[in-house]
Chain A
Amino acid sequence: DGGITQSPKYLFRKEGQNVTLSCEQNLNHDAMYWYRQDPGQGLRLIYYSQIVNDFQKGDIAEGYSVSREKKESFPLTVTSAQKNPTAFYLCASSIETSGMTQYFGPGTRLLVL
């Protein structure tokens, strides 16, 4: 049963703490993406990766970091430098050679204590 999984569903962060959001896909997709959604807004691109060990900054990369050590996994770390981390985080993947669709995981809601 192919798809994208994100964990945890809810995550709480204390002041000054780094937290890592997990994203795994078994669709054999090359490209993976992280987006942030805030209330009343669209999805904003944080980071994306075309291939293992390579990734690029999106529109709002400040305060975030990623790694792509395996094709299936693209974890996102929200660092203490991200001053407004409360949001709904979505991971997605797509076939690298096509721009015709993108599949999303169920999302992780991050809340700051």
Chain B
Amino acid sequence: DQQVKQNSPSLSVQEGRISILNCDYTNSMFDYFLWYKKYPAEGPTFLISISSIKDKNEDGRFTVFLNKSAKHLSLHIVPSQPGDSAVYFCAASELSTSGTYKYIFGTGTRLKVLA
């Protein structure tokens, strides 16, 4: 049972336009939501996170929006650049019974920014 879902496996956007990547979750106890960017054969790179008590966090071209009532978050990239082409993973963290945070990942969305 997937607790974090990315329903769009791929997305193509024109350079300079906005990219919107979506993520849905089922567990209302998640503490943070995170976005990672990943290139093939490399480890994911952390992009931005948002606390469950916030509804927006912005860092340069990246903004994450959280809609708790809909259990939905989105990552906006504006303006999109060809170097943004990668797989983007949404993740959520929850405190496990051992006292350590566990991170649950979605299946990823492949973003292609067209020049």
Contact = CB atoms under 8 A, between A and B. Distances in A.
Interface of A: 4, 6, 31, 33, 35, 40-45, 48-50, 54, 56, 58, 88, 90, 92, 94, 96, 98-107, 109
A45 to B, nearest CB: 7
Interface residues of B, number: 32
A56 B98 contact: yes
A70 B44 CA distance: 24
A4 B96 CA distance: 23
Contacts of A44: 105
B51 A104 contact: no
A54 B15 CA distance: 47
A61 B93 CA distance: 19
Majority SS at the chain B contact face: strand
A104 B43 contact: yes
Given A56-B96, A99-B31, A42 B102 contact: no
B108 A42 contact: yes
B105 A50 contact: no
- Give 3 nearest A-B pairs by CB, closest first: A99-B93, A104-B43, A99-B101
A104 B44 contact: yes
Contacts of A33: 103
A42 B31 contact: no
B101 A96 contact: yes
A7 B102 CA distance: 24
A93 B32 CA distance: 16
Nearest to B42: A106
B70 interface: no
Contacts of B99: 50, 96
Contact of B34 (A90, A101, A105, A109): A101
